[in-house]
Amino acid sequence: MYINKIKLENFRNYEKEEIEFDKNVNIIYGDNAQGKTNILEAIFICSLGKSFRTNKEKELINKEKDYSKIEMLSSKEDRNVKINCELEEKKKFYINEIPAKKTSDILGKNYIVLFTPEDITILKNEPSKRRRFLNIMISQLRPMYVHLLNQYNKTIEQRNIYLKQIKYESRPIENLEVWNEQLVRLGQKIYEYRKEFIEKINEKIYDIHLKTTENKEKISVKYISNIRK
Ligand SMILES: Nc1ncnc2c1ncn2[C@@H]1O[C@H](COP(=O)(O)OP(=O)(O)O)[C@@H](O)[C@H]1O
Ligand SMILES: [Mg+2]
């Protein structure tokens, strides 16, 4: 799969821009604050539905304008994919001209990996950074995973509402079990996907790291979760 072209309209510092990419490696260079990362951000949005830098979509729209558009063309196994993103009051996506029902419909159309200096936080910072990394990777490969994550988050929300009701409205504590069971069921499935992904990564990185360190270092990753089987 490769990205052929990206068209930007009122996106960040770009008013109108069309960028064509080579099939192989592309190097984008320039002075600071010229818009290099903005290009990567546009690609990220067309692949994953949201930015890696902000949750506030308004920031993506050029300050002088009130809407923005991104178009990304890519080829996968000789098939062309066109993703359009419209940012206005709401964010809208189109896959080959057809409106996407939900943002997650665009996942898996383009596989991308973003690697930035901040990625060191995957190792340094709290577990939520590692979970986020896993979520981004697995979501592209497994549509079911996105669905599970959404369900899991909704269940947490509902459980929290119920916890408040127990405290303030004297609802029976026994019923909490319903939410707990749901969380365990969904959490277990999420765990399985993550474990599978880490095992696959493990197979790949071992050889790569051995080669890059001239056979000096052996690397492995393990998924350590609180869930015990
Ligand atoms: N909403 C916006 N409207 C106009 N310009 C913006 C907007 N958001 C960011 N910029 C501009 O984009 C530039 C930063 O782009 P960026 O891609 O991060 O730079 P770099 O080339 O250093 O990676 C800055 O000049 C900033 O002012
Ligand atoms: Mg940058």
108 and 146 in a single domain? The answer is no
**128 and 66, same structural domain?**
no
In angstroms, what CA-CA distances link 191 with 131, 135, 160, 194, 227? 11, 11, 22, 5, 8
Give pLDDT, residue 175.
Answer: 92
Decide if 217 is inside a domain. no
Atom of ligand 1 nearest to the CA of 39: 17
Q: Which residue has the tokens 């692949």?
A: 47
70 and 99 share one domain: yes
pTM of the model: 0.87
Residues 56 and 132 in one domain: no
Residue 199 lies inside a defined structural domain of this protein: yes
Within this chain, do residues 139 and 208 fall inside the same structural domain, yes or no? yes
Nearest-atom index, ligand 1, CA of 36: 21
| 143: containing domain | 118-212
* DSSP summary character for residue 61: B
- Residue from 6, 8, 13 to probe ligand 1 pocket by mutation (most atoms less than 8 Å from CB): 13
Number of domains in the chain: 2
Q: Which of helix, strand or coil describes residue 201?
A: helix
Same structural domain, 80 and 179? no
pLDDT tens column, 80-103? 999 999 999 899 999 999 999 999
Q: Taking the chain, what is the end-to-end CA distance rounded to the nearest angstrom?
A: 37
- Alpha helix locations (H) across the chain? 36-48, 121-124, 127-141, 143-169, 176-212
* 81 touches 110 (CB < 8 A): yes
Q: Does one domain contain both 154 and 64?
A: no
**Residue 164 confidence class, pLDDT cut points 50, 70, 90:** very high
Nearest partner of 131 among 15, 54, 38, 224, judged by Cα: 224
